[in-house]
Structure 1
């Protein structure tokens, strides 16, 4: 028998939720509350990562918790586990995400507001920008002119933008940290150096002076410098051998998938 005549109980809810209701343990006592413990099943625990346990303390004074309040709480907890599961799973095909690039000092560099996700895997994300709003660090705004397939990876220190134009595909490759993805945006650190590839295959390494300036100002360090220069070589190898995003078949495949998703949404 719990405090105020309430019996400790256990409910099996949907979505792998078990809810325990009863007095708090000695270590958990706060004032004189009843204790609701929300515990996802082992499978859900893995999906929810660090959000695998939620405790709600209800300070009900002398009157106890009424039944309607209890059911409101259970509905709230069910909705939260659904939200947290979606968040842990990440975006799915057809979802729109924000992309944010930062500089080494932590300042925001550039934001793309709506990028459609075409594919996610354990290590990579493929998306598309098409008339996407871009905001610069000084507040200036502009809109991308043509469809562009974007490629991000969690291990390579670059990301790739394949711009689909009437005269062929041009590439803009940013030397950057591997990306991270949270509920706010896909994020990475921009490291100044860029490789531009023209439709005829010509390659240009851009912004070398800017890289040297910021490297000294923000103390990139020898290890970061070594990693970035090694990734320039990897990037050039991909370009020369038409690997991954630098394959015409790759661009055609993902642009076609984008068009299919557009038709489905209309």
Structure 2
């Protein structure tokens, strides 16, 4: 029995069409590591937003797997912003009450085409922005601890500091992934592609 036939036996014609379209879209997964090579976190299903380079959609309730095997998920959609030259990546939290952001300071993402996999090294520090636009840089103590334990090179520490400052500046200027119109534009592109 074909995948499409399976969907049609359990769904309405309209929702079958949406699911079938999504199956044909580019799907990737993402794995983060720590500096010493240990696995850190895994995102198991991201969909490329058509026509938007480096923008990925994560459906609500999609599992995220921690290194210890525990899982969690977001009850709202997440738009993931990835750039191959930036020392950070940004999760745009599409809540009904507003837009929040969770920004990882991390090595530039690398893409493994054979496995449809993005990889990056998580460098501890995060920038968190709540729906009211209040931001906080967190986990600096973790950075200090890991930098000592894993012997981060000075060049890496410099990149971490630069990336943190750049993210704060982008947020304050409301540019890049923080552009107030970006969430609406990327959401619209996704909905158009899946309707």
- Please report the TM-score for the alignment, with normalisation by the length of structure 2: 0.82
Residues 28-86 of structure 1, C-alpha deviations (whole Å, 9 max, x = no match): xxxxxxxxxxxxxxxxxxxxxxxxxxxxxxxxxxxxxxxxxxxxxxxxxxxxxxxxxxx
CA RMSD, Structure 1 to Structure 2 (Å):
1.5
Q: Distance between the aligned counterparts of 2:165 and 2:51, measured in 1?
A: 25
Corresponding residue number in structure 2 for 1:44: none
Residue 103 (str. 1) matches residue 34 (str. 2): yes
Q: CA deviation at 1:247?
A: 1.2
Q: CA deviation at 1:262?
A: 2.3
Q: Distance between the aligned counterparts of 1:258 and 1:120, measured in 2?
A: 9
Match of residue 77, structure 2, among 147, 170, 178: 147
Match of residue 120, structure 2, among 174, 188, 198: 188
Q: Secondary structure at the match of 1:127?
A: strand
Residues 1:174 and 1:153: Cα distance change in structure 2 (over 3 Å): same
Match of residue 134, structure 1, among 64, 73, 76: 64
The number of equivalent residue pairs is 169
The question of whether the paired residues in 2 share the 8 Å contact of 1:113 and 1:134 is answered with yes
Corresponding residue number in structure 2 for 1:115: 46
CA radius of gyration, larger in: 1
Residue 239 (str. 1) matches residue 171 (str. 2): yes
Q: Secondary structure at the match of 2:54?
A: strand
Contiguous gaps of at least 5 residues in structure 2: 1-23
Choose between structure 1 and 2 for higher RCO, CA contacts under 8 A separated by at least 6 residues.
2
Residues 1:119 and 1:125: Cα distance change in structure 2 (over 3 Å): farther
Corresponding residue number in structure 1 for 2:109: 179
Q: Distance between the aligned counterparts of 1:257 and 1:119, measured in 2?
A: 7
Q: CA deviation at 1:107?
A: 0.9
Contiguous gaps of at least 5 residues in structure 1: 1-92
Residues 167-198 of structure 1, C-alpha deviations (whole Å, 9 max, x = no match): 10000000000000002211100001000011
